[in-house]
Amino acid sequence: METARFVEILDTEGQLLAAAAEQAGTDAKVPTCPDWQVRDLVRHVGAVHRWAASYVAERHTSPQRLGDLTDLDGGDLLTWFREGHRTLVDTLAAAPPDVECWSFLPAPSPLAFWARRQAHETAVHRVDAQSALGTAPSPLAPDFATDGIDELLLGFHARAKSRARTDEPRVLRVRATDRDDAVWTVRLSSEPPAAERTTDQADQAAPEADCEVTGSAAALYLALWNRQPFPGVNGDPALAALWQEKSAV
């Protein structure tokens, strides 16, 4: 996916998040994040947006501390959120493609990294905001959801800090039923997960899975981010349960 597309999605997702938060009210509970109320969600995402924008705008080449969370609430909090979201979108849209700054996952460029990461960050938390309304979340495009699974399995969980591990080697397969190019084989062990993506045809040569989770790319995206149960589980359900217990990032 192109950087410009990620920026467009970030723009839309942030607006949806703010609208859901405003409709739910900042004291509403967030079922997908049981320890949070909507105000906690909005404060967190708003701080992350400002933190991310600062890397691109100020060309930081080393990690920076996330700023203190605001104590604003109600309408003032939502105004603050919308201002920070707009600044992030505009900063990414205006940045030169070769801008140099710090990033923390492999990407074609720092700008591509930040656009992608913030689009997914905001999409997942938009789902959280909509959960406070008790309604089904707005749909996610299959290609965007597929990219988000790539980012999670091939990026986040390739890092040493991943806690998704098993005492004995196990294989988890993730299969999107609405795409023929979205099958992931995740080898779990005492080391960080080792994942690879294949097609429906190519995965025939992959090792047999101890557990396979299936569903649309969007449903798997949300399940892998622990926002909903896995749509379909074949094989050892304990392995799917272990993933949802240990995979928070």
Where do the structural domains in the chain lie, given as residue ranges?
3-133, 145-247
Residue 37's DSSP bridge partners are: 29
pTM for this prediction: 0.96
Distance CA 154, CA 184 (A): 9
- Answer for the pair 170, 178: CB distance below 8 angstroms, yes or no: no
- Its CATH class, for the domain covering 3-133, is mainly alpha
- 183-228 residue pLDDT tens: 999 999 999 999 999 876 665 667 799 999 999 999 999 999 999 9
Report the CATH fold assignment for 145-247. Answer: Nonspecific Lipid-transfer Protein; Chain A (3.30.1050)
13-17, 23-27, 183-187, 207-211: the lowest-pLDDT one: 207-211
- Most distant CA pair in the chain: distance in Å? 56
Q: Tokens 């997702």 belong to which residue?
A: 13
Non-local CB neighbours of 92 within 8 Å, separated by 6+ positions: 3, 7, 10, 53, 56, 111, 114, 115, 118
CB atoms within 10 A of CB 83: 13
With tokens 């299959």, the residue in question is: 142
